[in-house]
Structure formats: structure tokens, C-alpha cells
Structure 1
């Protein structure tokens, strides 16, 4: 069977590829190379395979080149779109920063107005007490005057009853001096009665004027209270909203600040205008409520200074990477990014975002030149890839202090700041704090 198949294949090859001989002639000799049908088939198959492989490889290279060109064009378009979005976000951030500055100015103006209103309220209360005292004195004087007038009237009636007209005439004829004395006494009594009546009328008019002034002062006091209450609501609500948006429990934060600052005076002392143990008036209750709200506002402001509610850079920068899983710029793989990256000019000033103590100021693998600051409430901030560090370990810093210069040290592809916020050692999104404070600071 194999012999017949071989014979048939050989016949087929001979029909299409007959045996050929290639003669090689030299000066002295002539030689030839015999090319059998099988050899020719193998050669043709090899050439065809080579040509086919060359065509396929060329097609693959062309397709890859075309695809790479399209990918680069798409990457350029994506980069342009991303740059445009960054510019829009930068413009929006600048607008928000201006609004924050304007809000801070309004907040400071409201505090000044609150202080002035509080002083005016206390002065009005003192004036009210003085007027009430004056009214009591006038009423006492009026009652005494009225009593004297009634006594004079009673004495006059008594004199008229004791001496009739005829008896008085006889007495006057008999004793002119006694008559003159009686006449003068009656005249003085009438004058005193008229003077007492005039004094009583003046006292009543003065009392009416004082009561009107007291009502006006009470209305003014109510207006001051209303403005103060509105100012407290406007001032406290944004701070409370800022802490809640950042995920910070306000009750625990306020209590912690209160305990930490109790040695410096603690909360404001409630107002009490009575020294006789009487119950507080509605105005006194409102005043005490305002003082408690002012104390809460002060505690909020202290807590806000201790939490990182600020941006670490004030210059023009690009937000190049946010918190979360991203494509690693070095390896290209998917990795977790625990902070936010801000790209800017080399040497851009970097500022502390809250009050705290520097716990690290030096080189750390991957982060390059790194600054760590420990804040209140278990919060820690990290500022990495700096070119220069301007603080040292153990140094106390305040919000806005210049702590480092932007660079590209450590594992970095270019000049930028890597900014992290950690709560109890766990990284959180730093933009949560920055965005929460946009409408406050």
C-alpha cells in the first residue's frame, strides 16, 4: 500500500515538477546538481511559507502601526479634554476661594456686630434698671405728695367746720390778729394744694414719658436679641455642616475641645440680673441662650483650626490625581492611591492645613522628603515629594504656616505634592475636608 501511494505521489510530482539538472561548468571540469521532484516541492513549499509569513507579519505590523496612531490620537484628545476639565476646575476653585474669603469677611463682620450688639444690650439693660428705679422713686414721691394734699384738705375742712362764718367775723372783730393768721394759713394751704396738684400732674407726665421710653427700649432690646439670634444661626450652621460633611461627629468634637480648654476659662458664665433669687425673665433666658450659642461658636472655631479644613497649596496648581484606585504612573498596573496629587511649579510653597505638631520631617522611602503633622481628633496629615523641608520634628505649627517647598523627590514622575489625611492611622479622602470648608473659609 505504501509503495503504491509513493509511486502515485512521485508520478504527480513528476507531472508538475519534472526532474531537473543544474550544470556547473568550470575550466577543467563540468558538474551537475540533480533536482528531484520531491526536492523542488520542498523548495517551493518553503518559499511559499516564507512569503506567506512575510505577508502576515507585514500586515500585522501595519495594523499595529495604524492602531498605535489611532491610540495616540485618542490619548491626545483625552489629554486635551482632561486639561480643559482641569482648567475649569481650577477656575471654579478660584471662584470658591474668593467666595470663601468673602464668607470669612462676612463672618468677621457678623462677630463684630454681635459684640457691639451685646455691649448695647447690656447698656440698655442697665438703663432700663435705672429707669425702673427712677419710676419707683417718682411713684413714692407722688404717693407722699398725694397724701400730704389729702391731709391739707382734711385740715382745711376741719377748720371750716370749727369756725362758722359769723363766729369768724366776730372773732375777727374781737381779735384782728387771729383773723389775719387764719387768712394767711388758708392762703398757704391753698397754694400748697395747688403746688401739690401741679407736682402730681408733672409726676404723672414724667411717668408716662418713662413708660414710653421703657417700651421703646424693650422693642429695641427685642430687635437686638432677634439680630443676635439670626447671626448665631448664620454663623453656627455652616460650621456644623462643615464638620458633618467631613464625617466628624460634632457632639464628640465639641466636648473634646471643651475639655481641652476648660482650664482657660471654659464656657461663658450665664447672665443673671437678679440678686434676690428670683426666676430669670424671658430676656435673661434669651441672653443666656445667646451666650451658650456664642460659646458653641467659639468651640467650633477652635475645632476648625485643629482639623485640616484647608488646601495645602495657595498657588496655581493642577489637580492631577485623586483618592482611590488608579493606574500606577510607574508600572501601569491598578493600585490604591491614598491621597491627592497637586502638580505645580518647582519650589511652590506648601502650607500646614491645621494646627498640630510635626512628627516626621525627613526622607522616607517612596515619599521622598516627607513632612508629617499630628493634629487633634486622631488626625494626621502627610506632605510628600518635597524639595525642601522648612520645619523640624517636635515643632508646633499653625494653619497656614509655610512647612515645605514642592519638588519631585522619591517615587515621582514630576514636580507635585502628594497630600494625605489619615484618621486614627487610616487614610481618608483629603478632598472631603477641603470641599467641606469651601463655603466657610
Structure 2
């Protein structure tokens, strides 16, 4: 009987891993996707908190595209501990983020890729390592993840828009995030 109890306990411990010590207690996952993904844009493997498009997350006003009082999220929020390195996953040039409001944090980064015709927005960053005008290539250190202006904890907000576009020009960013299940 004791041996059986020991085997059951071992199975439970391996089947349901404990929360990582660096999980942010403010994280709320509005995405049903429980997969952790790696990406050339960040270190480690992390889950999606809020996906692109219609969401139940309370931070966004009701949007006519969504129905049921749901709001529209223009990017992907990837949960990650504060201080997680963020690196360039594509080449481009850092352009001004002055037109972006305070909801994106103190140091939003915009990387323009003219060949693809897009601006890639990295929000909620701190300790930024690049400046406007810098050329970046894949793997270049951009910043560290933070919770700047983020009520739901440390994460990376990854958004793609047409070059110099506004919110109406936001595009589904999953393809450029280059995620791979861990």
C-alpha cells in the first residue's frame, strides 16, 4: 500500500509541475493555448497571455468586430519574467516610437523592415540597448522585458503594423514572431 502511494505521488509530481519561481503573480492567461514557445525574439520558452484579435481581457474597450462586449488586441502578449532578454528576430532599422502612447510603456521600440513593408513594435521594455537610426540584424540585443505600463505583469507585447501605420493597420503578428513549440 505504501509503495502504491509513493508511485501515485511520484506520478502526480511529474504530471503537474509546480509553478516556476519566476512566474509573475499578476499574469492572467486569456489565451487557451497552454503551449510554451521559443522565438528568436526572446530568450527561453514562454506562453501567450493574450493573442491577436478579439479578447475577453478587460483592458480593451468593446469593439464592433468582436461582439459580446469583447475588445480587440492589436498584438500578442507573451508572458515572461522581468529582465528576460529581447533580441531582434528580423533585420531592420530602429525608428521613432514618439507617436505611440503611454499604454506601450516608457521605452517602446519600433523596428522598420522596408522589404516586408512592416513596423514591428516591441512594448513594455526596459534597459533598451538600441537607438533610433540603428540597424539591427537577427540576434542583436534590443532590450529587457518589463512591466512598464502593463497592469498584468512582465511580458513582451509584439505588434506588427504597415510601415508608419496606425492601429487600423495592425496585422496578425504570429508569422513574424517565428514561434516554435518548446
Shorter-chain TM range is 0.5 to 0.7
Verify the 8 A CA contact 2:60 2:73 in the aligned structure 1: no
Of 385, 397, 403 in structure 1, the residue corresponding to residue 124 of structure 2 is: 385
Whole-angstrom distance in 2 between the partners of 1:332 and 1:365: 16
TM superposition shift of 1:313: 1.2
Quick check: 1:366 aligned with 2:103? yes
Deviation of 1:408 (Å): 0.8
User: Does 1:375 pair with 2:113?
Assistant: yes
Q: 2:127 is paired with a residue of what secondary structure?
A: strand
- Mapped to 2, the partners of 1:409 and 1:393 lie a distance apart of 20
Q: 2:154 aligns with which of 402, 411, 415?
A: 415
Match of 1:345 in 2: 81
| Structure 1 Cα separation of the partners of residues 101 and 129 of structure 2 | 16
- The RMSD of aligned alpha carbons is 2.8
After TM superposition, give the deviation of residue 371 of structure 1 in Å.
Answer: 0.4
> 1:246-291: CA deviations, max 9, x gaps?
xxxxxxxxxxxxxxxxxxxxxxxxxxxxxxxxxxxxxxxxxxxxxx
CA shift, 1:360, in A, is 2.5
Residue 432 of structure 1 pairs with residue 172 of structure 2:
no
CA distance in 1, matches of 2:177, 2:60: 30
Q: Determine the C-alpha separation between the residues in 2 that align with 1:429 and 1:316.
A: 21
Alignment partner of 1:406 out of 134, 145, 162:
145
Q: Deviations over 1:61-110 (max 9, x none)?
A: xxxxxxxxxxxxxxxxxx89x78x51xx22xx46xxxxxxxxxxxxxxxx
Q: Return the match for 1:313 from 37, 42, 45.
A: 42
Contact kept? 1:385, 1:410, Cα under 8 Å: yes
401 and 410 in structure 1: CA distance in 2 versus 1, 3 angstrom threshold: same
Q: Deviations over 1:210-243 (max 9, x none)?
A: xxxxxxxxxxxxxxxxxxxxxxxxxxxxxxxxxx
Q: How does 1:39-438 map to 2 (within 5 A)?
A: 86=34, 89-90=35-36, 93=37, 311-330=40-59, 333=62, 334-360=70-96, 364-368=101-105, 369-377=107-115, 378-424=117-163, 425=165, 426-434=169-177
Larger Rg: 1
Unaligned runs of 5+ in 1: 1-78, 95-309
- CA distance in structure 2 between the aligned counterparts of 1:419 and 1:344, rounded to whole angstroms: 13
1:414 deviates by: 0.8
Query: Does the residue aligned with 1:413 lie in a helix, a strand or coil?
Result: coil
Residues 110 and 121, structure 2, Cα contact 8 Å, conserved in 1: yes
Using the size of structure 1 for normalisation, the TM-score is 0.29
TM-score normalised by structure 2 residue count: 0.65
Secondary structure, counterpart of 1:432 in structure 2: helix
Structure whose residues are more often helix by fraction? 1
CA distance in 2, matches of 1:354, 1:367: 21
Q: Which has the higher contact order (CA 8 A, sep 6+)?
A: 2
**CA positional deviation for 1:358:** 0.6
